[in-house]
Structure 1
């Protein structure tokens, strides 16, 4: 089959080889007329004699002995190889294709020319075709077959010069060298062309010879792992290069596949067999997964050097086998694993465990009981996020067995956890990072002792460096005052949206609390005061005391102006990022103040002004204010959340919407008397779900509910 040069660029060479091989297998098995002639090639397109045949359309449960008996009548068979299908506990391996290699090319030619009825196995016609050129055994210059070539195989069918260097020795042993030894000059003259022949016959370089390893590694990063594994059959040199690249991978995420295929344990096993030995980080976060309980055994067997494992959305219970294979595992995270229980984690945190960081998120079964009696000395980070069944009393008792815990996160936990948090913090004087965010339940509003107990527990955290209290309704100015007095080494503080809604019974965080923090925590580098209804320009000016501040975030604050922000940028000489998205009153004067601050202290500075008054006058800003090479202004991206703003009003439950359905109904048609007649019509008392007594309906109207609203409800 031939194509023009213009058509070759629209064809995939791999698909062309497969189609050509299958079409030849089908046409070669067709019955020929009585006097018809069949054209069967004896050599491949590269000039290599055909000894190996490709056999397909195999029946199930085919054995090598049966296949050998089919082709034995045509000549001596050198080898017979079967490719078996996927294996598994619930699968029966079936043969997919086979290779039959003859010692003599003439015998392979006979097998190709044999009629169709002679090549039947278990009632199925076998499809026979010559194997591709890179599968065929190669002959050297002395017509000797190299069944296992030592050197690399060239595209023209010859072996590499390294393998040909042994040919003169073998020919000399067989007496095939020149017998005229009396003319040394002639032999020397004959040896010179022999050395030049391989150089002249050397083919052109391919991409593996032109590009170095760094370029090839960069190119292979854009190819999915499964496609690289499938391409290993191209050639031996390509397979070695792919294996070398796979062994250099340190981080692998199953979500990088980007294919709508289901991830199974068998598929994961094949991938980890090639790159698991060098992996240090593994994230199993494929959106379509059907992994079973053998997943932990697979990871423990093929990933001995794994240091970080993250599992997302799996329904596997048994994860204890990880400790037997992954002896260096330090970071372990389970996100949205519904069937994860305390028994699944009990062996992972035992005394000799190597786990240092454990995270459980979006779980409804873990209670914290697996930590009791663990006595692990290496676990220093513990994080729980959105764990509904987490019990504070159990966790408080388990903290006694974790003396080296320096990082604790209890985010979106049950409201009862807040009562136990002070008792937990008193047992962790070495804590360096604490996160207690998104406590929005109103059950403990009226208990003033809750804030006092929490303030007493913060007095013991003298080594705290990071504190996250965002969206916590129990945080007020008294808490921040205690933070300013007890945490002098604090570097990161997040108090965004701490009870700033005006409908709350207490004010929450305001200017007084921010001033206390800025006065006591001089080491602060990152500060987030977004969505605080009690914060004004006077409170923000106190941020100028933080000489080490590098990032300031103040989103959704309508009370802030450009003057207070400009004062902070001039005083904080290490400030590199200022986020003011959603601040309505911040004008373009901030840009001029930023340019002046950079003139005094040069540094890179990023201003985020999306959703501000400056973004509305972007054209004027670019013309009137000078630019700076170190200044980056982003006015297009608004990162603020309007639902968290202090002035946000939910219009869905507004009282003004009570009469929103009046225009849809005509009250002259739907009067009370007509509605009573409808309820007391052709229905019996058993069929009605609403009592149609006139007193009950009058009582409903007394609450402002109309007849049309009752039907919709």
Structure 2
């Protein structure tokens, strides 16, 4: 009798009853995103499974102009163009699973605020201070990464509301004029990644104010910041100290051998430093950095594309890996 009942139960069981949560997550990891989303239509049980899975791994909505790194686990849903109605339908259904998207106008901002409570990564395009700061910021409470593109100069006021922010990108924002109030807002954060590359407003003084909160900083991108010198870069990196693992100083003519050596001494855990197109750096830089650490267990990649360095002996400094961008 027991065996008969067990047989009946097994006949009624589905794969969801047989596999535990870890197993079906491994199965879903192997499926394309479109198949996973379609699978939730099978039945209510499958719907619960798919939602739980996507809430963990997250959905990244990708537009054609999307150019940022995507988490290796996130599921990509592609948008061919700016379609507010499609975006609204998508976020109504999967809003709690969406971790990453672009905010392309005020309409999409309204939709995100209403439907995406767990958003972690967003790029704001061309938005004004009033639009970003008015209304509820509930959907921004979990933001870890923000990229501003062509926004109003005063949207930095939003930063004070983002207590979880770890990654801030302000690349090539000539229009936004990053003045002292931006530096002060950044200084109140505890960032891990900061990209202010190719911004003419970034100076040594600006960098000093912003670096107040650099104690946890892992990567700093100062590429093409023509207003900074080696002194400003050294001061900022010294605040980060052992936390700093990556530094981009490329295309800065005021960077010299002495400042780079000081930075390497102050940041013993640097994994890479980019000095490409730094024409103030001479061929002596390798010897200086090779002796900068008396004991070094961690190798460091030195990127020297279009530099004065060439024809060096290989393996002379085992911890230093030279990369000429070939």
TM-score category, normalised to shorter length:
0.7 to 0.9
Among 370, 381, 384, the alignment partner of 2:89 is: 370
Structure possessing the higher radius of gyration over alpha carbons:
1
Equivalent-residue separation in structure 2 for 1:608 and 1:363 (angstroms): 37
Structure 1 match to 2:178: 476
Give 1:284-683 correspondences, 5 Å limit.
299=35, 306=36, 321-325=38-42, 327-328=49-50, 330=54, 331-333=58-60, 335=62, 360=78, 363-366=81-84, 368-370=87-89, 376=95, 378-379=96-97, 381-384=99-102, 390-396=104-110, 398-405=112-119, 407-410=120-123, 413=125, 415-416=126-127, 420-423=131-134, 426-428=137-139, 430-439=141-150, 450-452=152-154, 454-473=155-174, 474-478=176-180, 479-485=182-188, 487-488=189-190, 490-498=191-199, 500=200, 508-542=201-235, 543-547=237-241, 548-614=243-309, 618-619=310-311, 621-622=312-313, 627-637=316-326
Equivalent-residue separation in structure 1 for 2:62 and 2:115 (angstroms): 25
Shift of 1:332: 4.2
Equivalent-residue separation in structure 1 for 2:324 and 2:108 (angstroms): 49
Give 1:170-181 correspondences, 5 Å limit.
none
Contact 2:204 2:229 in 1 (8 A): yes
Look up the SS of the partner of 1:451 in the other structure: coil
Contact 1:585 1:612 in 2 (8 A): no
Q: Deviations over 1:290-320 (max 9, x none)?
A: xxxxxx5xx3xxxxxx5xxxxxxxxxxxxx7
Q: Deviations over 1:372-402 (max 9, x none)?
A: 76695x4251312xx8xx4314423541443
Contact 1:519 1:545 in 2 (8 A): yes
Say how many residue pairs are matched: 279
Q: Deviations over 1:618-637 (max 9, x none)?
A: 13x439xx822221111243
TM-score, with structure 1 as normaliser: 0.35
Q: Gaps (5+ residues) in structure 2?
A: 1-25, 65-73
Higher relative CO (Cα under 8 Å, sequence separation at least 6) belongs to 2
Look up the SS of the partner of 1:598 in the other structure: coil
Shift of 1:551: 0.5
Look up the SS of the partner of 2:41 in the other structure: helix
Shift of 1:536: 1.4
TM-score, with structure 2 as normaliser: 0.72
Look up the SS of the partner of 1:558 in the other structure: coil
Equivalent-residue separation in structure 2 for 1:528 and 1:556 (angstroms): 11
Equivalent-residue separation in structure 2 for 1:540 and 1:585 (angstroms): 14
Contact 1:455 1:482 in 2 (8 A): yes
Contact 1:371 1:395 in 2 (8 A): no
Contact 1:334 1:361 in 2 (8 A): yes
Superposed CA RMSD? 3.4
Q: Gaps (5+ residues) in structure 1?
A: 1-276, 285-295, 300-305, 307-319, 338-355, 445-449, 501-507, 638-713
Structure 2 match to 1:280: 29
Look up the SS of the partner of 2:211 in the other structure: helix
Contact 1:357 1:382 in 2 (8 A): no
Shift of 1:358: 6.1
Q: Deviations over 1:199-235 (max 9, x none)?
A: xxxxxxxxxxxxxxxxxxxxxxxxxxxxxxxxxxxxx
Structure 2 match to 1:134: none
Equivalent-residue separation in structure 2 for 1:632 and 1:590 (angstroms): 13
Shift of 1:366: 3.8
Closer, same or farther: CA 362–627 of 1 in aligned 2, 3 Å: farther
Structure 1 match to 2:10: none
Contact 1:494 1:528 in 2 (8 A): yes
Equivalent-residue separation in structure 1 for 2:132 and 2:276 (angstroms): 33
Closer, same or farther: CA 435–463 of 1 in aligned 2, 3 Å: closer
Structure 2 match to 1:5: none
Look up the SS of the partner of 2:40 in the other structure: helix
Contact 2:270 2:300 in 1 (8 A): yes
Give 1:130-169 correspondences, 5 Å limit.
none
Structure 1 match to 2:17: none
Shift of 1:334: 5.9
Shift of 1:336: 6.1
Equivalent-residue separation in structure 2 for 1:391 and 1:476 (angstroms): 22
Shift of 1:606: 0.7
Closer, same or farther: CA 282–564 of 1 in aligned 2, 3 Å: farther
Closer, same or farther: CA 418–471 of 1 in aligned 2, 3 Å: farther
Shift of 1:537: 1.6
Contact 2:172 2:196 in 1 (8 A): yes
Look up the SS of the partner of 1:324 in the other structure: coil
Look up the SS of the partner of 2:293 in the other structure: helix
